[in-house]
Amino acid sequence: MLSRLRTEQGEIFNFAKSTPDRADVFRFSKRKNKADWARLGTWLKKFPEVEYAEPDTILTRAEVPAPIMPNDAYLSHQWSLLDAVSGIRAEQAWGYTTGKGSVVAIVDTGVLPHVDLLPNLLPGYDMIADKAVANDGNARDNDATDVGDYVLAGECGSASNINSSWHGTHVAGTVAAAGNNTEGVAGVAYNAKVLPVRTLGKCGGYTSDIAAGVIWAAGGAVSGVPTNPNPARVINLSLGGNSSCGTTMQNAINAARAKKAVVVVAAGNSNADASQSSPANCSGVVAVAATGRDGGRAYYSNYGSVVDLAAPGGSMNTGTANGIVSTLNTGTQGADADTYNYYQGTSMATPHVAGVAALMLSANPALTPDQVETLLKSTARAFPQPCTNCGTGLLDATAAVNAALAALPPVTPEPETPVVTDPYVALLDELVKQRNLWRSFKISNYSYVLEEQTGTATPSRLKLTIRSGKLSSGVNLATGKSLSSSNLKAKGKTLEQVFSVIESAINTKYAMVKATYNTSQGYPVDSFLDKSSAVKGDEVTLKVSNVTKL
């Protein structure tokens, strides 16, 4: 097939690399337009050995205005986090979690070691395979530091010089700039960790490199690249291009989701339908539109049915301070001094959502990507100003974290350590109304008597019954014998409970006992057990619930 491509189509090309899903990438000698690619793709797909054929398109960072230094760059300038109308209600969410334990990958231009990021910055990877795009003198390596994406007039189709954006550094600050450190700004998840993955350089970045970065960030395997020791549960993609979602990108997203990573993507800044913006139009991503200072759709933001929700992205057309302030650098080409500047774009909205996803997973690590997306969308609040086709609403950090906490599975209390006096277990406790008590016992004796004794009154003997599944009460699961004994004595207002559990009674770690005092009956006890096949020496946990103090 390759030889016929040369002879029949007259194409000159060379093998460049392989994608993470084992597709081969070739570089052609002549530049091609969309019609050329369509024609070539149709020709290639007639061969049975070709599963798919698509151009390795170049995606670019979302365009942002030139950085402007604010007079002051502290939390009070972060309206996107704190404003009651158009912010995300971050301060209330922080009362539950600040993101500790979460890792967020910033798949972008790389990240600088900014003073406000260093406490949360993990070692990352430079996934750019092309030296010219990498602009750092080499190809893929383990240094994800942003070296600058400046272009000179005539490069990348630009008519003038364009300064380095430090785009990934700005995005990273919105996600997880360190909080409570007296420095600059606070990230949405300011105790989460940032995993930088450099995929965008001079003129943007190839889809194949971005896809490799997504897979590596989630902990997947990429040929020739060491395994990521810090897999991310959240992947931020503040990037895109005007195209359909290609197979290479979709495969990468699927692989990341299989590793339980939530993939959050910018909807794009073309004031157009996001269905034409990739990877926002890929399946399984959380696509984010941008709102302005008033909470309505930002004038540049894409929209449409593929958008899941919106978050603050800024509206600097109404004033610089209405942008999003975050970590940046003063360098115009290479890095210089740390600083803080305002940007706007869906690139700025996306890390707000990624940060909230990190808060949710910090609160409840058991959440799946689908659950995170569902909760983000279901807890979004109504837009304060019109935002047509912007998804389900405006990001609400507090509501999302509360929903994540509500989804936690019930926690079984840890049993307390008993005092063991073989063949009985003696427990001293005052029984308090509605209190649940957990105790552990060693199976050591065949029977026990239940007594309730006050003063010189004649003890009343009560039977302890055991239930398990469909078995009849009072049946010993292993031997068929009935239980008969324990001691329960009242001494003033303190009850001494002495239990000895039949050695073959249970193999579960739980036995629920409900005891409610009755003046005529004492403490009728019902025990509910789950499993059988216990042996001597097994430990059993007894839960006493709904007990009433004498």
Q: What pLDDT was estimated at residue 516?
A: 38
Per-residue pLDDT, averaged over 23-35, amounts to 85
Per-residue pLDDT, averaged over 447-456, amounts to 31
In a domain, 373, yes or no: yes
Q: Could you give the number of structural domains in the chain?
A: 3
Per-residue pLDDT, averaged over 203-212, amounts to 96
More confident: 164 or 510: 164
Identify the band that residue 63 occupies on the pLDDT scale cut at 50, 70 and 90: low
Identify the band that residue 452 occupies on the pLDDT scale cut at 50, 70 and 90: very low
In a domain, 414, yes or no: no
Q: Residue 167 carries which DSSP code?
A: H
In a domain, 412, yes or no: no
Verify whether residue 108 is a known catalytic residue.
yes
Q: CA nearest 449: which of 523, 389, 382?
A: 523
Q: CA nearest 223: which of 481, 22, 488, 510?
A: 22
Q: How do residues 275-288 score in pLDDT, each as one tens digit?
A: 999 999 999 999 99
Give the relative orientation of helices 247-258 and 207-217 as an angle to the nearest 10 degrees. Answer: 10
Helices in 336-459 by DSSP H: which ranges? Answer: 346-363, 369-379, 397-406
Question: Which residue among 164, 347, 468, 486 is the active-site one?
Answer: 347
Q: Please say which residue of 55, 72, 93 terminates a domain.
A: 55
Using a 10 angstrom Cβ sphere, with 0-12 exposed, 13-18 middle and 19 or more buried, the burial of residue 239 is buried
Judged against a pLDDT cut of 50, whether residue 532 lies above it is answered with no
Amino acid at the residue 261: A
Is the alpha carbon torsion for 153, 159, 163, 169 positive or negative? negative
Q: Please say which residue of 55, 78, 97 terminates a domain.
A: 55
> Residue 351 belongs to what domain range?
60-406
Of 184-193, 247-256, 383-392, 519-528, where does mean pLDDT reach its minimum? 519-528
How far apart (Å, rounded) are the C-alpha atoms in residues 492 and 489?
A: 10
CA dihedral 157, 162, 168, 172 (to 10 degrees): -140
Q: Please tell me whether residues 133 and 212 are part of one structural domain.
A: yes
Q: What pLDDT was estimated at residue 410?
A: 62
Q: How do residues 119-146 score in pLDDT, each as one tens digit?
A: 999 999 999 999 999 999 999 999 999 9
Q: How do residues 210-254 score in pLDDT, each as one tens digit?
A: 999 999 999 999 999 999 999 999 999 999 999 999 999 999 999
Judged against a pLDDT cut of 50, whether residue 461 lies above it is answered with no
Judged against a pLDDT cut of 70, whether residue 307 lies above it is answered with yes
Q: Please tell me whether residues 522 and 384 are part of one structural domain.
A: no
Amino acid at the residue 113: P
Question: Which residue among 21, 56, 108, 130 is the active-site one?
Answer: 108
Question: Which residue among 80, 146, 165, 167 is the active-site one?
Answer: 167
Q: How do residues 165-199 score in pLDDT, each as one tens digit?
A: 999 999 999 999 999 888 899 999 999 999 999 99
Judged against a pLDDT cut of 90, whether residue 8 lies above it is answered with no
Percent of the chain's residues with pLDDT above 90:
57
Question: What's the mean pLDDT when you consider all of the chain?
Answer: 77
Judged against a pLDDT cut of 60, whether residue 376 lies above it is answered with yes
Q: Please tell me whether residues 25 and 100 are part of one structural domain.
A: no
Q: Please tell me whether residues 365 and 423 are part of one structural domain.
A: no
Q: Please tell me whether residues 241 and 303 are part of one structural domain.
A: yes
Q: Please tell me whether residues 217 and 84 are part of one structural domain.
A: yes
Q: Please tell me whether residues 9 and 85 are part of one structural domain.
A: no
Q: How do residues 411-439 score in pLDDT, each as one tens digit?
A: 544 444 333 322 222 222 222 222 333 33
In a domain, 413, yes or no: no
Per-residue pLDDT, averaged over 11-17, amounts to 86
Q: What pLDDT was estimated at residue 21?
A: 83
In a domain, 317, yes or no: yes
Strand-pair category, 494-499 with 487-491: antiparallel
Per-residue pLDDT, averaged over 527-549, amounts to 35
Q: Please tell me whether residues 36 and 158 are part of one structural domain.
A: no
Helices in 45-140 by DSSP H: which ranges? Answer: 79-82, 90-93, 131-134
In a domain, 423, yes or no: yes
Judged against a pLDDT cut of 60, whether residue 465 lies above it is answered with no
CATH number, position 161: 3.40.50.200
More confident: 326 or 158: 326
Q: What pLDDT was estimated at residue 344?
A: 97
Q: Please tell me whether residues 538 and 477 are part of one structural domain.
A: yes
Using a 10 angstrom Cβ sphere, with 0-12 exposed, 13-18 middle and 19 or more buried, the burial of residue 226 is exposed
Identify the band that residue 530 occupies on the pLDDT scale cut at 50, 70 and 90: very low
Per-residue pLDDT, averaged over 16-29, amounts to 86
Q: Please tell me whether residues 344 and 438 are part of one structural domain.
A: no
CA dihedral 398, 403, 404, 407 (to 10 degrees): 160
Judged against a pLDDT cut of 80, whether residue 12 lies above it is answered with yes
In a domain, 266, yes or no: yes
In a domain, 550, yes or no: no
Identify the band that residue 337 occupies on the pLDDT scale cut at 50, 70 and 90: very high
Amino acid at the residue 506: I
Q: Please tell me whether residues 297 and 426 are part of one structural domain.
A: no
How far apart (Å, rounded) are the C-alpha atoms in residues 18 and 1?
A: 18
Per-residue pLDDT, averaged over 431-452, amounts to 29
Verify whether residue 347 is a known catalytic residue.
yes
Percent of the chain's residues with pLDDT above 70:
72
Q: Please tell me whether residues 201 and 309 are part of one structural domain.
A: yes
Q: What pLDDT was estimated at residue 536?
A: 37
Q: Please say which residue of 384, 406, 428 terminates a domain.
A: 406
Identify the band that residue 73 occupies on the pLDDT scale cut at 50, 70 and 90: low
Is the alpha carbon torsion for 125, 131, 132, 137 positive or negative? positive
Which residues partner with 80 through β-bridges? none
